[in-house]
Amino acid sequence: MMNKTSSRMYLIARWAILLLVLAAIYLPLVMIIVYSFSASQSVGGEYGEFTFRLYARLVENSDILVALRNTLVIGLSSAALATILGTTASIGIHYMRKKIKSAVDTASQITVVNAEIVTAMGFFLLIIFLRDTVMIPVNFGIVWLILTHTVITTPYVILTVTPRLQQLNPNLLEASMDLGAGPMRSLFTVMLPQLAGAMVSGFALAFTLSLDDFVVTNINGADVETISTFVYAGMRKKGIPVEMRALSTIIFIVVLTALIVYNVVKNKKAKEQAKKA
């Protein structure tokens, strides 16, 4: 009897911990969502009436829209470049001799383990060097941001694609070549389709990392604003336009539903497959 109540208390205590932390995680987000339907000047101010006014004004706020567009342009282009560069690199590294392979692996980990501020500063010095010493006319801005984001996200694509590459059956490629297809054709028609899933994961990872980046963008962007640098500047000086609450709400809801749906579907599939087997 005693044991039963104490184990029950233990269960309640554990639920309490989880709910408390969940509340702490989601309360700030919920508050922004709630206040996105109020015309109040500040979050936490007098609520007033329930309104969609901020959403209507969001469409007219060109500062926010430009920051959003820059974020997406940089994210999508750098993720696409990183996926191509990372996949080809994984294939090449996969066939390297052991010693060279480990040297390349180490080099590809530099930006991953390094302090981001040092990486960002390195890119900054690189522009100065290329412009003033090598005389290549490069400049800070959106193209430079796409390049630098590609450099910092490619290692993550390699980390995603390489394990899949190691799982592939090498006999398939050999069979294709024995049957008369050239190495290039075998690579594109036999190997690449099998890597497609990992490439999509790598693209998604690179894209999110690019969206989330602040330090490299802040130091190398000149006057190009992304969502991260826009919110940062607003919090420091100008104040954040009220319409930002509407955009934040849209982003929160999209990310939450996308991830939950993706995982529910994935779990269901895994369960079905487990049943079949």
Selected range binding another protein among 47-55, 56-64, 85-93, 195-203, rule: CB under 8 A:
85-93
Q: Which of 29, 39, 76, 80 binds another protein (CB under 8 A)?
A: 29
Considering only residues 43 to 62 of the shown chain, the ones binding another protein according to CB under 8 A are: 43-44
Considering only residues 241 to 270 of the shown chain, the ones binding another protein according to CB under 8 A are: 244, 248, 251-252, 255-256, 259-260, 263-264, 267
CA torsion through residues 213, 74, 133, 113, sign? positive
Instruction: Transcribe 37-84 into DSSP letters.
Output: TS--SSTTS---S---HHHHHHTT-HHHHHHHHHHHHHHHHHHHHHHH
- Is residue 9 exposed (0-12), middle (13-18) or buried (19+ Cβ within 10 Å)? exposed
Which 8-state DSSP code applies to residue 110?
A: H
Q: What is the largest CA-CA distance in the chain?
A: 83
199 binds another protein (CB under 8 A): no
83 binds another protein (CB under 8 A): no
212 binds another protein (CB under 8 A): yes
Pair 152, 111: CB distance under 8 Å: yes
Q: Give, in order, the Cα–Cα distances in Å from 201 to each of 116, 256, 271.
A: 23, 18, 21
Report in angstroms how near the CB of residue 99 gets to another protein at its nearest. 13
Report in angstroms how near the CB of residue 110 gets to another protein at its nearest. 5
Q: Which of 47, 50, 129, 188 binds another protein (CB under 8 A)?
A: 129
273: three-class secondary structure by DSSP: helix
Report in angstroms how near the CB of residue 46 gets to another protein at its nearest. 12
Q: Which of 108, 153, 160, 162 binds another protein (CB under 8 A)?
A: 108
Considering only residues 135 to 154 of the shown chain, the ones binding another protein according to CB under 8 A are: 140, 147-148, 150-151, 154
Considering only residues 170 to 189 of the shown chain, the ones binding another protein according to CB under 8 A are: 173-174, 177-178, 183, 187
Non-local (6+) Cβ contacts of 47 within 8 A are 35, 38, 40
Selected range binding another protein among 47-55, 112-120, 159-167, 194-202, rule: CB under 8 A:
112-120
Non-local (6+) Cβ contacts of 141 within 8 A are 221, 222, 224
93 binds another protein (CB under 8 A): yes
274 binds another protein (CB under 8 A): no
Q: Which of 61, 78, 86, 165 binds another protein (CB under 8 A)?
A: 86
Considering only residues 216 to 245 of the shown chain, the ones binding another protein according to CB under 8 A are: 218-219, 222, 227-229, 231-232, 234-236, 240, 244
Q: Which of 38, 77, 83, 111 binds another protein (CB under 8 A)?
A: 111
Name which of 196, 203, 215, 161 is nearest 75 in CA terms.
Answer: 203
